[in-house]
Structure 1
């Protein structure tokens, strides 16, 4: 069975006057109590994912903490390496660091152009990956260049890195340099005929282990799948216009993002998740959608499925 993870950012209560970190901790506790062994947290414009994980790690033990994903352009790779190693130490080795490059127009708030994103990520990895591996950054010299000066005590094992990748060039980079990819809103055809073959071939050519393929999907155990799909289509409408997601939707033959939702009763949802596993996905990153009762039913099912899920590969 596919390994199950839950998106902590979806379904937060956001109570008036509440504290988002307290809410994330409570959400993480409920997911872990249900039996799910991986949580994921995206990086937005508000709370900082890695800082949040340093807090969550102490209150939610024994679950993998996946960042899905941190956009690299606003962060110097040495700063990001320090943040990641700090969380790795706080969590005693449970962090998986997902990295991405955002989309055209979404970096404007940082006054950063969206230019040559694959090259930007490659340059970032040139500095970040050696530091995470405890090695000297090629060509670096002076203070702060020695591995002894950039390591964080207790931050072992090395932090696994995944890339948010859908395009061919980004998938090749992920396979060649990292442990795999995190996709979002990529349907079965995209996973099975595009992501898995390109990523696997790149990893094999680079002599790397089988890559991890994390499929980010909206999921609901519900008696009214049409309503849930319509709600998701409305909520995610702006995403459907972004080029990378539009390409994936067109590849699937989907009219809108509602078509990608996995929705139905327990057996139907389990069968669809297994379909992704059969196509080569190692993980499902589940965003629970629907009303409160439906999200609770979904979490209950995910916990049951997780009890029989094999561990996903974790290579640095």
Structure 2
């Protein structure tokens, strides 16, 4: 079944998160996604708070930049959240924005190698394994979590380029695709992910694809969305990377991404969204029923 989510953007002040998370929970939104963008809001702190404030909605971080994080610490934090809030944690890791990583002195010479090592170690620790590894970036000596998750703890990874997409198929449990990804690009991403899965002998395992999608509603939706898309400078036609308008319009765009291979579509409001709580309610109460009806 297709999952429908919404983003709490870190451009919104942290004190708005409680109201948005509760609105998403009450409205039936399947997933609430957070970002750890520099230098805005912490992913782990925000996730813990959102989970504590809600009852049923799954909360994702898409994504934690691995250059900022030790693999053992990432696994400890994720395991704690999984035990506190079983079946509701969606953890995403990724390269991070390289300019930001350079600002804090952790830019890796080989981001792909770092992501591979970090994903491999983090997933093993979350499975309760004792890990010793001496990689280029990740070094662990006989590390084992005392409190590993008691429920499945999938680890997703963000990807855009072909090599990273193949890598997520090899060593991650799912892939997060950024907003601006067209349906054709979702299809191509699926092909590259499947190549990685085949190379690793993982074709029998599920691999979830999460796609962010620009969306806006309300009286000035078209103007706000146009400004957002112009700022990104996408080459693709606007209707392939964003939708503005009523629930039928946005649900139709979600259907196109699902048909292309998305398992979860996460609607991303504009950074100047005047009513983040209302956006969450719109996603859950109006868009989601239309998506489910067509599933």
- For Structure 1 versus Structure 2, the TM-score category normalised by the shorter chain is 0.7 to 0.9
TM-score after normalising by structure 1? 0.79
Partner of 1:40 in structure 2?
33
SS of 1:73's equivalent in the other structure is helix
Shift in Å, 1:302 = 3.6
1:107, 1:48 → 2: CA distance?
A: 15
Q: Is the 1:36–1:306 Cα contact (8 Å) retained in structure 2?
A: yes
Shift in Å, 1:303 = 3.0
Query: Which of 80, 104, 129 pairs up with 1:86?
Result: 80
Post-superposition Cα deviations, 1:85-138, rounded to whole Å, max 9, x if no partner, equal: 111122133211100112331212211224211111111123211101111214
1:1-316 superposed matches below 5 A: 2-9=2-9, 12=12, 14=13, 20=14, 22-44=15-37, 45-139=39-133, 145=142, 147=144, 150-152=145-147, 155-185=149-179, 186-192=181-187, 194-205=188-199, 206-208=201-203, 209-222=205-218, 226-233=222-229, 237=231, 239-240=232-233, 249-250=234-235, 252=236, 254=237, 260-289=241-270, 291-292=273-274, 296=278, 299-307=281-289
Distance 1:163 1:263, change over 3 A: same
Q: Is the 1:2–1:277 Cα contact (8 Å) retained in structure 2?
A: yes
Shift in Å, 1:162 = 0.7
SS of 2:99's equivalent in the other structure is coil
Q: Is the 2:7–2:268 Cα contact (8 Å) retained in structure 1?
A: yes
Post-superposition Cα deviations, 1:223-243, rounded to whole Å, max 9, x if no partner, equal: 655413322135xx2x55xxx
Runs of 4+ in 1 over 6 A off after TM superposition: none
Tell me, which stretches of 5 or more residues in structure 2 are unaligned?
135-139
Distance 1:156 1:303, change over 3 A: farther
Partner of 2:137 in structure 1?
none
Q: Is the 2:6–2:283 Cα contact (8 Å) retained in structure 1?
A: no
TM-score after normalising by structure 2? 0.84
Aligned residues, how many? 282
Shift in Å, 1:146 = 5.0
2:63, 2:157 → 1: CA distance?
A: 8
Distance 1:107 1:197, change over 3 A: same
Q: Please, what is the CA RMSD of the aligned residues?
A: 2.8
Tell me, which stretches of 5 or more residues in structure 1 are unaligned?
15-19, 241-248, 311-316
Shift in Å, 1:24 = 1.2
